Amino acid sequence: MVGIVGYGSYIPKYRIKTTDIADVWKKDGGEISSSLGVSEKAVAGIDEDAVTLAVEAGRNALLRAGIEPLSIGGCFVGSESHPYAVNPTSTIVGDILGFGNNYMAADLEFACKAATAGMQALSGLVASGYIKYGMAIGSDTAQARPHDVLEYTAGAASSAFILGGNKSEFLAEIVDFISYTSDTPDFWRRDGIRYPSHGGRFTGEPAYFSHVISAAEKLLKKTHLSPSDFDHAVFHMPNGKFPKIAAKRLGFTPDQIKDSLIVNIIGNPYSASALTGFSRVLDVAGPDEKIFFVSYGSGAGADAFIFQTTPLLSKKRKLGPTVDDYINDKEYITYPEFLKKERKI
């Protein structure tokens, strides 16, 4: 048995409104905001990167877990914006958080689902007894070319989850998980190229919906469960519309997904997108509730999980800041300030 024994998120305080970006390019901001389902997004500070965001989320996860950092046996960081091409994010995070030297570390890349791949790998290591605890982190200061549609949605955030095998420590048990994968090039960034590209006609049906829905249906069939058996559902949020459409197609209700929908107010922080939505659900979920979760990564693949919360969750979540604490602590910036913080000028 493997479960979450600690979790935490971090969202930078800076925000820029969709309408402010649109005004610079002489576009209809209201129309763009409505079309994408994103009214504003989180922006990393000039001194923040995927490492610093990951450290903050990791600290919050350790606060809730109440364990010694030296007991962490594995640290996997998933990101599309690792600050170094050669020099691991995970070792910097591990050193700052005090993991010592007796742990395995790896940086993972699979677009927006790299961190959930890390959760799957750590689950196996914990279940086999090779490590006692493992931390998986999704952290991104998402990149977007000026005047690209991604500039309106690409955000910044980080979420961390500590997995363990002692049931008495579980905040949420991992009931089961599966993956669904194919070679579908909907989004990519070649080595040495600063900004990502996206293949328009691939991004919807062949990529996101095909993989998310296939993974979800496969897991529901495997576990003999139906959408009505769940209290909450979380889907990757590249924009404000896709997760709602996926949920409806699968049979989940708007009430089941409402607590996870944060893309409208922080944007899409890539590897941290679905995980931050999940973190927000853990902030409000009651005991013995089932959570259905599906991440998505371009290229393409989806990881689907089923979690069951425990009575310990309501006690432990008070030990760290909630996602809403970070959402509500915000400062709006102008487009020139945004360019400076994103290091585009």
Cis peptide before 106 (omega within 30 of 0): no
Please report how many Cα atoms fall inside a 13 Å half-sphere around the Cα of residue 269, on the Cβ side. Answer: 35
* C-alpha gyration radius of the chain: 19
CA–CA distance from 237 to each of 60, 264, 339 (Å)?
A: 23, 9, 24
What does the alpha-carbon distance between residue 278 and residue 227 come to, in Å, rounded to a whole number?
A: 17
Phi, psi of 177 (to 5 degrees): -155, 155
Respond yes or no: is residue 112 known to be catalytic.
yes
Catalytic residue among 82, 211, 232, 236: 236
CA–CA distance from 345 to each of 52, 94, 146, 329, 337 (Å)?
A: 21, 31, 11, 26, 10
Catalytic residue among 56, 75, 112, 151: 112
Respond yes or no: is residue 224 known to be catalytic.
no
Q: Report yes or no: 53 and 82 within 8 Å, Cβ to Cβ.
A: no
Respond yes or no: is residue 75 known to be catalytic.
no
Please report how many Cα atoms fall inside a 13 Å half-sphere around the Cα of residue 225, on the Cβ side. Answer: 20
Catalytic residue among 80, 169, 289, 342: 80
- Where in the sequence numbering do the catalytic residues fall? 80, 112, 236
